[in-house]
Structure 1
Amino acid sequence: MKGTYELGFMIAPWARTAWELDNNKKGFDAIIMAAGSLMARYSQKVGCITNPDKDFLVAVDDLMSLDTLFWAAAKSKDTRMHEAALCHAKTSQRYHVRADHSTATVVVFDPENGDINRGYADGSCWSRGQAWAITGFAQTYQWTKDSSFLETSKACADYFVEHLPATAIPSWDFQAPGNGTQPTDTIAAIIASYGMLLIHEIETAAGRPSVYLEHALKIIEAVCAFHVNDPVQFVSARDSIETASLGSSSYQEMIAADMENGAKTIFNGATMNNHKFAPCRWANQGLVYADYFSLLVGNKLFDMGISVRPLLSLSGHSISA
């Protein structure tokens, strides 16, 4: 697991919360260990963190691990770690973001000299990758106050909004033929919305006008209106419960969620992959990324004093107090 580019946002969601809310030392240690693992894969020649195998492949997703690295650097006062995260962000800013502010999914470097070996020359723009860029560069700005990262985040967000279909829910790839008829990716929608909320907070805190709250709410409303799964049904069953007395047991009515017939995620409409070389095309799925980032979006809206009740009511499900 230590070799995955998703390490930062596999560990930080639970570990940082455990430390900040409950002062859980295991959570703190887990983040520091994860950051150390990321640092072990940092190349000064390339200026990025990745898996330095035969090809040094850097995905736009890697931006989402930088928040973990910056956090660990701040807590441990490790300037080398901070500089590595900053350098990775600058390298990604230079090579993943195109002139029109669309993003390449991956760039492959030569680990010996840092030269580019291969990129996505066809101009394809994976919508989830674009969402990673919006959020990742906004988070990097929050840590560095380097205005170029904020401008890049905003430009990537503008591209995202400009290429949305009328439904306001992105296709899995903005450049796939028939944008608007391709499978959707609600994960991209929710992540991009979260990034836009970060941009809005930054802009308004500086006394500048912002259109990004409006954009984010439009996307969130569309996802809530069309892609919330039906609630899981609860079923009653009679099950045997062992007691402290050896050899004795009792029966008790149990309430359990019917996970076989019910949805396992909050949202549907996500696309794992749909490209022609994929061994298995997975579209209109429920994936945990959308659920997790929807919680971040909800918490952020609460922090901003915006009620999520009207948004959730669009799903047609009742909302308890």
Structure 2
Amino acid sequence: MKRELYMAVLGIGLLTACDIPKAGTPEWFETAVKTSGHQLLYMADQLKNVPDTVCFPRSTKADGSYRLENAKDWTSGFYPGSMWLAYEMTGDEALAKEARKYTNRLEDIQYYTGNHDIGFMMYCSYGQALRLKPEPKDKQVLVNSSESLCTRFGPEVGLIRSWDFGDWSYPVIIDNMMNLEMLFWASEQTGNSKYRDIAMAHADKTLKNHFRENMTSYHVVSYSVPSGKVESKGTFQGYSDSSAWARGQAWGVYGYTMCYRFTKNSAYLEAAHKIARFIMENRPSENDYIPYWDYDAPDIPNAPRDASAAAVTASALLELCGYTDDKNLSNSYMEYAENILKQLSSPDYLAKENENKGFILKHSVGSFPHDSEVDVPLNYADYYYLEALRRYKELKKFG
């Protein structure tokens, strides 16, 4: 029987996993958690007087000031989500207080249908809140958010539409795999199979059309309406239509690992293993685990790194390690994720306290082709770094 990772209430917390003996807490981990909690509260203090309408810290601008967004930005849920995760690891009630404040500022988004990333926005915030310090409304907020996400599903195409801009007829991006988690959760909580059916339809067709033979992913696949046939495959944030955009690979391995958790569909597990293999076989060097922003960037080794892709990958591998009977493979995933976390927790990537505008990690890339958020902190890098640290702690059984 396969050793499985059984997830807590929302499928976010690990209960049991790989057979890792209990160990003492390493110094690098303690430093990472302490620094993270400090930075998040430092940021909250810096932002205490900003208007509630534009208050979500996404990144920094060229002049070093905050890039702040409103609740409808796709990244709005990551800052409160990060504070929930840091609260879980530190027990600092100040983090929980700030996390709830920012989470509640997203309440109206439960009815927002203009963004496929409502899963990021609401499940990373309200989902963590419901798991750690629930309030009566939290569950219904997430169910309503799932309903809103379902409005973007086109039955004739069989996929959730990602964007409403550009020249594509019906664009679907690999990032959208991450938003399926909320739908799977909604089915489990309500008993309504609709949410699960939509999530699986999206995952199935994405697996069919988004990946090349080596399991590198196209960023954007557009479909004709109403036929549902592929009209184009390309990129928006990667180097080229044929390149392997680093964060896209991370979204893929995380997304299909998560889909396997809820469905036990072996096709999803096989996809996750294959994507993980590509990532691990194409790291910058033997002792370097932070990918360049695109695996095919023309100026490697001088291309910018993407800490966000590394953080997402680490979190995914820490779940994936429990979904195999092969002890060597399981251990390789654990070791690779651990090496990512150690490198991200080094001075090269982990900010000093009261620096980096309160963000935790340095050196991420948002969209290099648009010269947007290049070599800057990003709130989703921080979120998945913290999620990976928490998963690592639970697997190692220390603390």
Same fold (TM over 0.5): yes
- Structure 1 residues 208 and 34 mapped into 2: Cα distance closer, same or farther (>3 Å)? farther
1:299 and 2:390 correspond: yes
1:287 and 2:378 correspond: yes
Per-residue displacement from partner, 1:106-159 (whole Å, max 9, x unpaired)?
101112110111111831111001000000000000000001101101111111
1:37 match: 148
Contact preservation (8 Å) 1:5, 1:61: no
Q: Distance in 1 between matches of 2:276 and 2:180?
A: 19
Contact preservation (8 Å) 1:127, 1:171: yes
Q: Secondary structure at the match of 1:289?
A: helix
2:246 match: 127
Q: Distance in 2 between matches of 1:67 and 1:291?
A: 19
Q: Secondary structure at the match of 1:201?
A: coil
Q: Secondary structure at the match of 2:216?
A: coil
Alignment RMSD: 1.9
Q: Secondary structure at the match of 1:263?
A: helix
Per-residue displacement from partner, 1:232-273 (whole Å, max 9, x unpaired)?
0xxxxxxxxxxxxxxxxxxxxxxxxxxxx6532000010111
Per-residue displacement from partner, 1:267-294 (whole Å, max 9, x unpaired)?
001011112xx1x343110010111111
Bigger mean CA offset, 146-155 vs 211-220: 211-220
What is the 5 A alignment of 1:241-320? 262-275=356-369, 278=370, 280-305=371-396
**Match of residue 294, structure 2, among 148, 151, 173:** 173
2:126 match: 15
**Match of residue 27, structure 1, among 126, 130, 138:** 138
1:223 and 2:344 correspond: yes
Contact preservation (8 Å) 1:60, 1:96: yes
Contact preservation (8 Å) 1:170, 1:185: yes
Contact preservation (8 Å) 1:193, 1:215: yes
Q: Distance in 1 between matches of 2:349 and 2:311?
A: 11
- Structure 1 residues 220 and 30 mapped into 2: Cα distance closer, same or farther (>3 Å)? same
Q: Aligned AA for 2:137?
A: K
Contact preservation (8 Å) 1:170, 1:180: no
Q: Distance in 2 between matches of 1:262 and 1:55?
A: 40
Bigger mean CA offset, 178-187 vs 65-74: 178-187
Q: Aligned AA for 1:128?
A: R
Q: Aligned AA for 1:212?
A: Y
2:309 match: 188
Q: Distance in 2 between matches of 1:182 and 1:196?
A: 24
Q: Distance in 1 between matches of 2:225 and 2:129?
A: 36
Question: What 5-or-longer segments of structure 1 have no aligned partner?
Answer: 233-260, 309-321
Q: Secondary structure at the match of 1:282?
A: strand
Bigger mean CA offset, 99-108 vs 114-123: 114-123
1:74 and 2:168 correspond: no
Number of equivalences? 276
Question: Taking every aligned residue pair, what percent have the same amino acid on both sides?
Answer: 26
1:62 match: 176
Q: Distance in 2 between matches of 1:195 and 1:40?
A: 28
Q: Aligned AA for 2:292?
A: S
Q: Distance in 1 between matches of 2:302 and 2:397?
A: 32
Deviation at 1:214, TM superposition (A): 1.1
**Match of residue 98, structure 1, among 212, 222, 225:** 212
Q: Aligned AA for 1:23?
A: P
1:137 and 2:256 correspond: yes
- Structure 1 residues 224 and 66 mapped into 2: Cα distance closer, same or farther (>3 Å)? same
Deviation at 1:306, TM superposition (A): 5.2
Deviation at 1:10, TM superposition (A): 1.1
- Structure 1 residues 22 and 262 mapped into 2: Cα distance closer, same or farther (>3 Å)? closer
2:158 match: 47
Q: Distance in 2 between matches of 1:207 and 1:162?
A: 19
Deviation at 1:20, TM superposition (A): 2.7
Deviation at 1:178, TM superposition (A): 3.0
- Structure 1 residues 145 and 48 mapped into 2: Cα distance closer, same or farther (>3 Å)? same
Per-residue displacement from partner, 1:166-193 (whole Å, max 9, x unpaired)?
2221011111113332111000000011
Contact preservation (8 Å) 1:169, 1:219: yes
Question: What 5-or-longer segments of structure 2 have no aligned partner?
Answer: 1-71, 73-111, 235-239
Runs of 4 or more consecutive aligned structure 1 residues displaced over 6 Å after TM superposition:
none
1:164 and 2:283 correspond: yes
- Structure 1 residues 9 and 27 mapped into 2: Cα distance closer, same or farther (>3 Å)? same
